Amino acid sequence: MPTEPSAGTLLRFENVTIRFDELVAVNNVSFEMSAGETRVILGSAGSGKTTLLKAAIGLIRVDSGRVFLLGHDITEMEERQLFDIRSQVGVLFQEGGLFDSIDIAENVAYPLVNRKTKELSADAVETKVEDALRFVELSHTLEKYPNELSGGMRRRVGIARAVITEPPLVLYDSPTAGLDPITATTIMALIAKERDSLNAANLIVTQRYQDGQLMANFRYNRKDGHLEPVSKNGAGDPEGSNPTHTIFMVMKEGNLIFEGTQARLEASTDAYISKFVPRHNN
């Protein structure tokens, strides 16, 4: 009998395997993610990390194993029932996943307008949309269409749409893929800002170790309005102190080959992991 996940568990994978015809995209992966946690999944292209993220909200069905999301077993749930649970999770897709046919304001308002549980007045929706866009520093784009924005801006709008309902869990699929380093840092800073303003748990899928490093070592200071490094007092601790509750996971060809803190990740001697994590030259 599989044990039910405890109350603080947002997402739990139990021996999940996903196949696409002959190809095993995710192979027997188990992990558990609790509230307030930041999880960074590293892996090269085709390692199964995006598949894992999509399986977390039932966009891709698992072939074996079980997936629990916000306390519900979604493994064999019908699509109609899934809609309600999914609407409680924020998702940023790789290119933003914005709807081309409607403008930015409507895109950001979509999760609010579409949600069945809470009815909001048009004014309340408008205020929330403005707030969400101010959060990602794109207030001036309300009436523009997604194709008028740059790749980085589209992703910022995607973040605004993902967090407008203030979900307890936000999933980010390769938020920095295909962006220049400066824009990528801006996006990651926004994600950290979102995490520390809303206290949401984050699952971030990425190819860049720097993205995870930023999440693990920086915190958004609400008073000053910028990121600041977190103090690391536990230098003597072999696990390293982990004030941002950031856990790293590394995927390789569908297998989960590492799960642990940044300190342990950097101490790893695995050749595949070393490709992502720059060595400290002492």
Window 171 to 230, contacts with another protein (CB under 8 A):
none
Strands 201-206 and 218-221, sheet pairing: unpaired
100 binds another protein (CB under 8 A): yes
Stretch that binds another protein, among 98-106, 129-137, 229-237, 255-263 (CB under 8 A): 98-106
Minimum distance from CB of 231 to another protein (Å)?
37
118 binds another protein (CB under 8 A): no
Nearer to another protein, 54 or 156 (CB): 54
Of these, 111, 167, 212, 240, which contacts another protein (CB under 8 A)?
111
Nearer to another protein, 114 or 127 (CB): 114
Residues whose CB is less than 8 angstroms from the CB of residue 272 and which lie 6 or more positions away in sequence, other chains included = 250, 252, 257
CA–CA separation, 19 and 26 (whole Å): 7
Of these, 27, 72, 106, 110, which contacts another protein (CB under 8 A)?
110
* ∠ Cα 162 121 126 (to 5°): 50
170 binds another protein (CB under 8 A): no
CA–CA separation, 23 and 10 (whole Å): 29
Do residues 170 and 203 touch, judged by C-beta distance below 8 A?
yes
81 binds another protein (CB under 8 A): no
- Site size toward another protein (CB under 8 A) is 24
Taking Cα atoms as reference points, which of 253, 265, 280 lies closest to residue 43?
253
Minimum distance from CB of 108 to another protein (Å)?
11
Q: How many CB atoms lie within 10 A of CB 225?
A: 8
Residue type at position 273: I
Of these, 6, 30, 64, 114, which contacts another protein (CB under 8 A)?
114
Minimum distance from CB of 91 to another protein (Å)?
5
As a whole number of angstroms, the longest Cα–Cα distance in the chain is 59
93 binds another protein (CB under 8 A): yes
Sheet with 9-20, side-by-side order of all strands: 23-34, 9-20, 64-69, 72-73
User: Could you list the residues that contact another protein (CB under 8 A)?
Assistant: 54, 57, 59, 79-80, 83-84, 86-87, 89, 91, 93-95, 97-100, 110-111, 114-116, 161
